[in-house]
Amino acid sequence: MSPQKTVGVFALQGDVREHVHVLEALGARTRPVRRPADLEGLDGIVLPGGESSVMDRLARIMGLKDPLIAALRDGLPAYGTCAGLIMLAREIRNPAPDQGGLGVLDVAVRRNAFGAQVDSFEEDLDVPAVAAEPVHAVFIRAPAVLQAGEGVEVLASVPASRLSVPAADPGLDGDARLPVAVRQGHLLATAFHPEVTGDWSFHRAFLAGLRPPRAPRR
């Protein structure tokens, strides 16, 4: 059996417990990440769902933001769900006052693009890259990926007609589809929350994609 992986879960805000539960059930060791030292020796990190503007502010206050950016640039594998996707994004089209992000994933996102909490929706998505069966996805005040760079692989999408009217970008016609699951090298992100639905395909794919363990010393 391969040695156990240690996966950090950004733990300053968000649905940390849900991710810890899934990751541990899948055999990983987890570590809450609140300060720079918590990043040491991780095989990967998960950025949970929650509120990205609060995550950003707390990460700055705790001095975690810059070391986290450095670690991600250095190749630390990351999986972001919902607010975590917003955190990873290169551009946030409608940031809260003072909100920035980690800027490592080459996508432009719009927060709350599918409407408010009451507009939450569920959809079964075909995601051949991670699962043979459709993945049941729950969108809660989810962000939309309005633009994705060339190096970004779109793993799943929904019709742009799902967008709430004020968030709809001109230029998007009714037949357009918007990415809701993306991968760029070591970065994986979904606009929805597999950690709350019991469909662990994305967590499984993330763990499987972590750097292989170093060869044991003879």
User: Is 217 annotated as ligand-binding?
Assistant: no
User: Is 31 annotated as ligand-binding?
Assistant: no
Contact indicator for 46, 23 with CB cutoff of 8 Å: yes
- C-alpha distances in angstroms, 176 versus 43, 145, 170? 36, 12, 12
Using the minimum distance from each CB to ligand GLN, give the nearer residue, 30 or 112: 112
Chain residues binding ligand GLN by CB under 6 A are: 49-52, 82-83, 86, 111-112, 140-141
Using the minimum distance from each CB to ligand GLN, give the nearer residue, 95 or 134: 95
User: Is 45 annotated as ligand-binding?
Assistant: no
- 82 given a catalytic annotation: yes
- 193 given a catalytic annotation: yes
Using the minimum distance from each CB to ligand GLN, give the nearer residue, 200 or 210: 200
- 195 given a catalytic annotation: yes
C-beta of 64: minimal distance to ligand GLN in Å? 17
Given the residues 18, 19, 186, 193, the one annotated as active site: 193
Residue that has been written with the tokens 């962000």 in this structure = 143
Contact indicator for 66, 33 with CB cutoff of 8 Å: no
Q: How far apart are CA 84 and CA 102, in angstroms?
A: 10
Burial of residue 148 (number of CB atoms within 10 Å: 0-12, 13-18, 19+): buried
- Dig out the tokens for 216 from the structure: 């044991």
C-beta of 33: minimal distance to ligand GLN in Å? 17
* Residues shown for the chain: 218
**Known binding site: residues?**
50-52, 111, 140-141
Residues known to be catalytic: 82, 193, 195
Please enumerate, by residue number, every residue annotated as part of a binding site for L-glutamine.
50-52, 111, 140-141
